[in-house]
Amino acid sequence: MPIYWFTFDTQFFYVNDAACKQLGYTKQELLTMKLSDIDKDYKKNTPDFLIHIRQKQYICFESQQTRYDGSTFPVSISASYFCDASKEFICAFGRDITEEKEKQELIIQQNNALKNSLQDKEVLIKEIHHRVKNNLEVISSLLQMQNRREPNEEVKEALSKSQSRIYAIALVHEMLYKNSNSSKINMQSHLEKLSSAMIDLYAHNKGISVNLNTETIFLTMDDAVLVALIIHELFLNAIKHAFVGLESGMIDIFMKNNPDGNVIFGVKDNGIGMDTTKTNSANSLGCQLIHTITEYQLNGTIETDSSHGFCSSITFKPKKNGNQ
């Protein structure tokens, strides 16, 4: 380790062999020199340096030193203060940190390259979501055109449902495209938009209002699409069956975190109730979708309650990189 002893006027009076080797000078040459001869920044920092080392007795800092051949290199300096009668001395250790600085610079360059790569990836992913959304909107428009030409009411209803299912999926891609985070969906915002669109499509001027009771929950794209499809089907079931003969009604859409890490979501209405055996029949495509997605894709469970209106509640464990 290079060692330097010098007086308060920065004149060297002792240097070891390691210091000579690091700087490229002989001992005789260094002993005729001052610290400012090898550290160009020292001269302008001298007053502060002397004040601090008197007060603290020991200080550490980084600086640039100059070799005999004129090349410079970074050093980490540890300096201690000594006082003998009326004389003051400083003993300093100067460690060459060139390799450390090069590694730090390499890490910075690698991090910048990684950051740029991630930004490029984010742009690409957003563009993919944008194109998927546009393609889904084209499909939705084609279904709408076919719906207008279709005379059969059952077929028209099936086309309308298919169109709104596609919208539920497209909305996920739209949010991923617009969000700064292209891997997670804020389900609170998503369900607000989805429920508003569903009311416009199926419950306009029917006296049905929607109450959204959701916590701030983030889901992966895969989970968000599946949850949106289930909410869509439950919402349609409520509109179709819950308020027959009633002039108004309320539909609650809820989603919350459970302490065990699961997420609970579903739809509840204050309507006339529902025959669960009929609702779960194999002839109902919507109910098939609900149960298939819940059991086989979300690996969750579904519970129903018809004591006050009708409520369907789904419990599942979201993918690990979903919730924040």
Instruction: Please answer whether residues 30 and 23 qualify as being in contact, where contact means their C-beta atoms are separated by less than 8 angstroms.
Output: yes
CA–CA separation, 6 vs 79, rounded Å? 11
Class at the top of the CATH hierarchy for domain 3-96: alpha beta
Q: CATH classification of 184-324 is 3.30.565.10, yes or no?
A: yes
- Summarize pLDDT for 62-81 with one digit per residue, the tens: 889 999 999 999 999 899 99
- Summarize pLDDT for 4-59 with one digit per residue, the tens: 998 888 899 999 999 999 999 999 999 999 988 898 776 555 567 777 888 888 98
* Residues 79-86, mean pLDDT to the nearest whole number: 86
Instruction: Please answer whether residues 89 and 5 qualify as being in contact, where contact means their C-beta atoms are separated by less than 8 angstroms.
Output: yes
Q: Which residues contact 48 (CB under 8 A, 6 or more apart)?
A: none
- Any idea where the domains of the chain sit in the sequence? 3-96, 100-182, 184-324
pLDDT of residue 275: 62
The pTM score is 0.59
H or E stretch at 194: helix 187-202
CA distances from 90 to 38, 44, 56, 94, 119 (A): 16, 18, 12, 13, 50
- Summarize pLDDT for 265-275 with one digit per residue, the tens: 999 999 887 76
CA–CA separation, 285 vs 62, rounded Å? 72
Within 10 angstroms of residue 301's Cβ, the number of other Cβ atoms is 13
Instruction: Please answer whether residues 323 and 316 qualify as being in contact, where contact means their C-beta atoms are separated by less than 8 angstroms.
Output: no
- Positive or negative: CA dihedral 213, 215, 217, 223: negative
